[in-house]
Structure 1
Amino acid sequence: MTILKKIKENLFLLIVVLGYVIMFLARPAMGIESVKNSGYYIKEMLMIMPAIFVLTALLDMWVPKEKIMHYLGKDAKAKGVFLSFVVGSISAGPIYAAFPMCVMLHKKGASIRNIVIILSSWAVIKVPMLINEAKFLGPKFMVIRWGLTITAIVIFSWISAKIIKDEDLPGEALAQPGPHVNRDACMGCTLCVKNYPALFEMQGKKAAIKTQEQIILNMEILQNTIEACPVHAIEYHEE
């Protein structure tokens, strides 16, 4: 059962490794080139993601939940849609840099629709990209493509909000009182285990809560551990 559990937890990684093995056997040259490309992107992520986690943590501390709900929540309506386009369009960095920030925004009350708009505009209508598009393909092409893309994003974000529920995303409050680890959001950094080893442990590559029958919670240490988590995967719910 332990082996099956390990396989289930690392299924995606195993599929990727299997894909590389098949590629090396069938097309060795392509396999070598794929490994080089993967190495480049891994190096890029290692350089970019720490800064993104720090920025996300700072935004989480500085921006009150009420502000996020007011400007990007379900009741923000047209104002929220407009601001979501602005946030996505002026942001820098690759699209995967947007994911931690969107988790934080959703946790603070941003709607599914506005998160979809931020991610989509981040990917396809960033301002620097529009400038280069106009330069190489012409202003008319850029304006038409930009207008059609915005229309499509608005439509797909509305559809996504109808299909995807808040509880489908990581970080939602759990029913039972006490500390909880969102294992979907956990990145396996082990900070919680180092800060509060009496309460947290690693199960596979994810953090988990130890059995609490014999544990008397130290709320000061727990709060410090919650604040130290770079992806905000730890929450405490009162009774």
Structure 2
Amino acid sequence: MSAHDDHEPHHVSSPTEHLIQELQLHGYRPSEDERDQRPPPEDRLIEGAIADIFDALVATITDTSLNADLPDLLWSTVNMFHRAVDRIEQKLDDNEQTQKQLQREQDGSEVKSLELERRIDIGMNLIGRRDGMEAFREAAADRYRIATGSPWSPRAGSRVNHRHLTASLIDSRDFLAARRRSDTEVLVPVGPKIAFSGGDTADHRQIWAKLDQIHAKHPDMVLLHGGSPKGAEKIASLWADSRKV
């Protein structure tokens, strides 16, 4: 009998075992490709955490040889959250393009439908993350102003706070956008544009028959004509009034 017969050989852990160990140690953590149902941090907790960070930096560095670097350090602290917002915005842009592509590819299959739903969930998760990081940035910007006496601003790009978009403001913007669309559609109606020109032809039966044929093929057609008070264009105009085109 060998002296090593009672030695247990090394077993490589399986993916399932690794997953179970991760769950035991850290609990369930949704990936970026999953909808995260956990709530974001409360505003009061965010403000408290940011206050602690700034208070620690100011108390540690003030009246030391690093005092001249304090404004830059405080600015960079705010910028850290600002850059996080930018990164999430880029992911949101990619998600939007993916959703548009999936919308075009919808063929009624469950696979395509589920993939679109998954991308929508990811987009909603990204919006929540962006709003949370904006809350951190705004709280940090307030602390920066208190500590330095100057407002914080990024050195490049813009600073937008989506949480300031209240429901009333969104409804108002939607209303104005819809009004602009309706005003535009009056001048440039939607639908295929059919240009008509018939000179002085007065055969109204032939003109109406041809226009009816085109209308049957394009029910949402828009008739374009010169508006002449006589001849073929007048006949076409009367046809359009009759057919509600």
Structure with max Cα Rg: 2
**Superposition TM-score, scaled by structure 2 size:** 0.20
Would you tell me which structure has more strand in proportion to its own residues? Answer: 1
